[in-house]
Amino acid sequence: MKDSTAENTLLKPEELARALQVSLRWVFEHSSPSSKNPLPVKRVGRLLRFDLGDVMQWIDKQGGGTNAITKL
């Protein structure tokens, strides 16, 4: 059983925007259910949380690679 804190950490929208070097608006627009291909998001009530591993897989599927990701 893996016990990695980094793998289990959920990011707030602001943290994800900083990690991806995109605007907070971009994160919200791409996590909307009405988006054509929304970011993988976990909803906790009204709060949005993002698993960085899931988001990185989503980026890879988009053909963007991981070059957009900054060091965490």
The pLDDT value given to residue 1: 42
- 31 contacts 41 by C-beta, under 8 angstroms: yes
The pLDDT value given to residue 9: 85
Kindly list the structural domains of the chain, giving each domain's residue range(s) and its CATH number in brackets, ordered by start: 5-62 (1.10.10)
pTM listed for this prediction: 0.75
Please name which of 6, 8, 25 lies closest in space to residue 17, comparing C-alpha atoms.
25
- Mean pLDDT, contiguous 10-residue spans, the chain (72 residues): 59 96 95 92 94 93 58 34
